Chain A
């Protein structure tokens, strides 16, 4: 009897620990699922998008590395280009209230309109739950998930880790590269890079 209690406690312990261990996004492994409220008021569940490519873009409107991508129009170009090809694009806002980049739903909607951005949705993550789930370190960190729900890219937006707008034309965009290669049935050559940028402004 005693033994079976110990045994069931062990099982319980394993059940508690295992999901934690597999929670972080890993290249080649299933993308951790999440549910979030978008700035447009809709509820978004990642796993509802199985069958499509999904891009996750960590965003902070005060970060100069994000500014480089939006003020040059590069991020908007990418959003337009890839959503037109059926890719689901989620901009994720993981700044905590009071920190740089924290926005309310209506502030985010104003920003999207002003910048002519066209993500599928902008997801509000003020608790940092999704950010921590993917161990997102920076904005603009980018993650690409394939139609089978597997993470195929995690890292920087491109190979020029600067805030200089002039560096965009000559840069290799890792998100486009991963999507192009995966859609062509090829292996993603560069599945992971250092996600350069500003630190994600979590609560702690």
Chain B
């Protein structure tokens, strides 16, 4: 004990570095078990080019019928949370959330993914990474896995990628996974589509003018406690689009300025939307804004 105390103390950075190496040694696997499934970290490219952004992904493979959650989990549950451990010069952006699905019963509805899902995470790099030969990227993931009941899980996974000055080549082994994951992301809504949201006492009336009659539409709110998740979403086709009635959440006590989320028109047509909410009686001069999907998630986190 005394001997230990008499030793010069290590600088914090060295201690942290050692701790990182130690934890990394324990978490060297790219794949780890989670309750009722596995999680794997994969890279889109074979190497990292300093100063160039790149993509990683977390792939969840679940037993049949089990699910994890979207950014807004809906009535119950919670989204997976990731804590990154990376060398200096690499930073992780927010998860790019694929289009969610409605899960649950007639009275409780959650938003999430059943069986399998791939979450792409864009990574930023700085040019000073060049001094290193490789980068070990670790992720500590907390995830709630549910079917009839829920089981919380934790996993540590990590991936080592070489750092090379040349343009990074795509990894053929993961190309299919990334292509499928990209396809499952909501798109920007076309510029000429117009959206309107009117607040009534108990509902939001969401109208879309897409230039053609639309018979199917489901809305997924990015922010919680805005709409009643379990309420049926009644779609009325109109000549140029649709009208969707969304019942307000029991927990919503104040007016909201905007309605943000994902509008799903069919299995492979989902769009990020962000529409100002107008009160009845006020002039409706608003059209929906189409923002970067990333923007939503960042705002969500900040509030």
Contacts and interface: CB of A to CB of B under 8 A. Distances in A.
Interface of A: 24-27, 62-65, 99-100, 132, 135, 137-138, 154-155, 161-164, 191-202, 204
Contact of B251 (A65, A154, A197): A154
5 A-B pairs with least C-beta separation: A199-B76, A192-B251, A163-B152, A137-B75, A194-B224
Interface stretch (B104-112, B204-212, B232-240): B104-112
Scoring A24, A137, A193 by chain B CB atoms within 10 A of each residue's CB, the highest score goes to: A137
A202 B250 contact: no
Interface residues of B, number: 25
A100 B148 contact: yes
Contacts of A201: 148-149
Given A26-B250, A27-B253, A191-B253, A199 B78 contact: no
A86 to B, nearest CB: 27
Scoring B108, B146, B230 by chain A CB atoms within 10 A of each residue's CB, the highest score goes to: B108
Contacts of B253: 27, 191-192
A192 B144 CA distance: 24
Given A138-B108, A193-B225, 5 more contacts: A26-B250, A27-B253, A198-B77, A199-B77, A204-B106
Chain B's interface: helix, strand, loop or mixed, by majority? loop
Interface of B: 75-78, 104-108, 110, 142, 144, 146, 148-152, 224-225, 230, 250-253
Given A163-B144, A193-B251, A202 B107 contact: yes
A65 to B, nearest CB: 8
Contact of B250 (A24, A163, A199, A204): A24
A167 B234 CA distance: 39
21 contacts: A27-B253, A62-B149, A63-B149, A64-B144, A137-B75, A137-B76, A161-B78, A162-B142, A163-B144, A164-B142, A193-B225, A193-B251, A195-B251, A196-B78, A198-B149, A199-B76, A199-B77, A199-B110, A200-B108, A202-B105, A204-B105
Nearest to B253: A192
B107 to A, nearest CB: 6
Scoring B77, B104, B149 by chain A CB atoms within 10 A of each residue's CB, the highest score goes to: B149
A194 B148 contact: no
A99 B150 CA distance: 12
Contact of B150 (A64, A135, A200): A64
Nearest to A132: B107
Contacts of A137: 75-76, 107-108, 230
A26 B110 CA distance: 21
B230 to A, nearest CB: 8
